[in-house]
Structure 1
Amino acid sequence: MLFALGLLCGLLIMGAILGWRILSLEKEKANLPAAYEALSEKAFAKTQEQFGALVDPVTKTLANLDEKVKELEKVRAEAYGALRQQIEGMVMDQRKLQAETAGLAQALRSPATRGQWGELQLMRCLEMAGLQENVHYKKQVSSANDEGGRNRPDIVIFMPGNKQIVIDAKAPMDAYLDLLQENLSAADQKMILERHARAVRETIKSLGQKSYWAQLESPEFVIMFMPGESYFSAALQADASLIEYGVEQKVIPASPTTLISLCKAVSFGWQQDKMAQNSREIAENANALYKAVVTLTGHFEGMGKSLGKAVEQYNSFIGSLERTFLPKARRFKELGVAGGEKEIDMLPQLENNAGTPAAAELTQQEQKKIA
């Protein structure tokens, strides 16, 4: 009985303890969400702070990068605008150039216009080479040919030694101008180049038959001036034997660059001839001056000899006067016949230093050489 009562009391006590514990746990359970929330907010704030410390430099870098990108974009837009304007200007210039080229090509199809243009280019080359009209060259020099006619080359260049070089401006360009057409096939270009080469060959043949060198003091060739660098090179693409053919016909084709080089050589030859002429004139003047100096020193030498003789005669006269005449004149005063306060002084004799100059022998020797 007592055991059962004790067991019951123990169970009651245990139940009370368990109830109290359950109530305590339920209370803690009720407070758990609030504690967890506070803990979470604290951890989140700390984590956010740490994350912000890590991300802040990246944010600043991204902000700077964004500013740089904006600046680059602005510069790119400005550059693109300027480039676009330049491209548009180039397109307009290209169209204008095409129009002008087409107009020039059309104008150059006229033989008269083409001839005037070729002569103008020829004159510019001569001017750039430093040659002057009527000094180093003449235009349109007329001369009789073997057939009784007259030849009139465009330019005759004078060379030292009374030699001449003949230049004729030629521009066989009809076929070449056809190359300026658009949308030409390779076959069309080849055919046009061959036609251009044939025209150049015919011009060389015609020019060689004029034989300018037979009427003028000229080497046996004539310069065929073509007023463009590409005209003859284009013909050579279709006919590489044109240079050899020109030599056979005694015709030398020349572009502006080639002609300027040739004229520069002529100008240099004139400069050398002028220097040689000046040297000869200097030598002649020096020889004449030397002869004049020799003659002048001869006159001085004769003058010195004459002065020496005059001094000798003067001293002889003074000596004779002192020996024969003046002693008697002084005696009159001693005898009281003649009076006067002033005595008759002794007349001085002159030293005879006049003689032949030290360089007289050299002068005489040089005079003998010149004679």
Structure 2
Amino acid sequence: MEIVYLLLGIAIGAALVWIILRSKSATKLAVATEKTNSALHELVSLKSDLNQKQEEILQLNNSLTASRTDLKNLETKLREQKEELVKLRETFNLEFKNLANEILEEKTKKFTEQNKNHLDEILKPFSEKIKDFEKKVEETYDKEAQQRFSLKEQVKQLAELNQQISKEANSLTQALKGESKTQGNWGEVILESILEHTGLRKGIEYTVQESFTLDDGKRFQPDVIVHYPGDRSVVIDSKVSLTAYERYASAEEEMERQEALKAHLLSVRNHINELSDKKYEDLEGIKTLDFVMLFMPVEPAYLLAIQNDPQLWTYAYERRILLISPTNLVAVLKMVESLWKQEYQSRNVLEIARQGGGLYDSFVLLSERLLNLGRKMEDATKLYRETMQNLSNGKGNLIGRVEKLKALGIKAKKQLPDSLLKRAIDEGEEENSVE
């Protein structure tokens, strides 16, 4: 019986050992499963980030291709315009020469010194206008040539600019974390640096830190105001959210990471509310668009907020705020620069048309004056012939009579030209023969 109890005890002990070992294995399996799920989740997140980066690279490549196509089309158009202008100038010069020669050949072959001086006075203003017009055209094409060269350089530097901005943001993150004033100043520097690299001119196409004072004495100073053609503008205000983002990036525990993420999203929403309350779009003195751009200079911080708060963009837009990152801002500013180039080209075309109209009017005036001069010369020639006929024609003409006075013994120091005397004698003989 003791042997039975002994065997029964051994069996019970073995069963207890087997149960304990199985419980530990299940715990380890659960831990391993949790780690595997976490690794899979992180792998999915990394794949999503990779796909987004690849999509951004594709968009940049498409933008680069479009810019190159626009550049090629612009060069072709400018070349055609220049060829047309050269042909127009040659045709104009030829027609002017033909018309001037025709008028001069029809009217007279010999001008007196007085008539030459008078013609110079007429042609001088016309010549000066032609020179001014040619100078204006040359300046226009020189300026457009500079713009074409600038566009090539900007297209080449577009990708480099985005890389530079990202590197600057990453290198300064550690130095700026926790200091709101320093972060704000750094964001404004990044914003102005992007503006300078996109080709817009400070004080012309955009202004920095322009002050506005309301009737109640409140003073507003937007970071940047970008001007559009058509007397329109848009306010860009830089807002930096780095403190919570830095904690998120450096967090080792998931709970700490989630808390930092919530703080980062809250910080962005607070910036949106703060900017919306200023109502820059309603400021008097500038014709702004119906929204304000909130610029986040740190691209990863911008992407983190957009990815983890799907309603963030709508939340901002409802408050007339547009969230924008360095990559998006570069694209927007390049579009603004393109609009200004088209505006300047339109102005040049209008100026050329105005100058051409003035030039044509001057040419018409010159033609009218030349025709009037020809008529006066014809009248003078007719009057000269009639006067000469009155001097020498007929019996007892004036030349014959004054010569008879001389023959009677009057004293004179000068003598009539032989041609006049001969003509008067011939006319007198013809009259006698007729009688």
TM-score above 0.5 = yes
Distance 2:363 2:346 in 1: 25
Match of 1:115 in 2: 184
SS at match of 1:266: helix
SS at match of 1:153: coil
Alpha-carbon distance, 1:194 to partner: 2.4
The letter for the 2-side match of 1:189 is R
CA RMSD of aligned residues (A): 3.3
SS at match of 1:115: helix
Match of 2:385 in 1: 315
Please say if residues 248 and 258 of structure 2, whose CA atoms lie closer than 8 Å, have aligned partners that are also in contact.
no
Q: How does 1:213-292 map to 2 (within 5 A)?
A: 213-215=281-283, 216-292=286-362
Please say if residues 193 and 237 of structure 1, whose CA atoms lie closer than 8 Å, have aligned partners that are also in contact.
no
The letter for the 2-side match of 1:113 is T
Distance 1:231 1:202 in 2: 15
Query: CA 1:222/1:241 → structure 2, altered by over 3 Å: closer, same or farther?
Result: same
Q: Does 1:154 align with 2:228?
A: no
Distance 1:131 1:266 in 2: 8
Match of 1:10 in 2: none
Please say if residues 194 and 235 of structure 1, whose CA atoms lie closer than 8 Å, have aligned partners that are also in contact.
no
SS at match of 2:250: coil
Equivalent residue pairs, number: 248
TM-score, with length taken from structure 2: 0.51
Structure showing greater radius of gyration is 1
Distance 1:332 1:185 in 2: 137
Match of 1:297 in 2: 367
Match of 1:181 in 2: 250
Q: Does 1:344 align with 2:412?
A: no
Please say if residues 209 and 224 of structure 2, whose CA atoms lie closer than 8 Å, have aligned partners that are also in contact.
yes
Which residue among 137, 140, 149 is the counterpart of 2:209?
140
The letter for the 2-side match of 1:345 is S
Alpha-carbon distance, 1:107 to partner: 3.1
- For structure 1, the 5+ residue unaligned runs are 1-99, 335-341, 350-371
Distance 2:185 2:422 in 1: 94
CA deviation map 1:235-257 (0-9, x unaligned): 12321111111111111111111
Please say if residues 194 and 239 of structure 1, whose CA atoms lie closer than 8 Å, have aligned partners that are also in contact.
no
CA deviation map 1:132-170 (0-9, x unaligned): 211111111222358642221111112222211101000
SS at match of 1:116: helix
TM-score, with length taken from structure 1: 0.59
Distance 1:347 1:190 in 2: 124
SS at match of 1:220: strand
Task: Report the structure, 1 or 2, having the larger helix content.
Answer: 2
Match of 1:199 in 2: 267
The letter for the 2-side match of 1:171 is V
Alpha-carbon distance, 1:103 to partner: 7.6
Which of 323-332 and 126-135 deviates more? 323-332
Query: CA 1:232/1:345 → structure 2, altered by over 3 Å: closer, same or farther?
Result: same
Query: CA 1:329/1:143 → structure 2, altered by over 3 Å: closer, same or farther?
Result: closer
Which structure has more relative contact order (CA 8 Å, sep 6+)? It is 2
% same residue: 28
The letter for the 2-side match of 1:222 is V
- For structure 2, the 5+ residue unaligned runs are 1-168, 408-415, 424-435
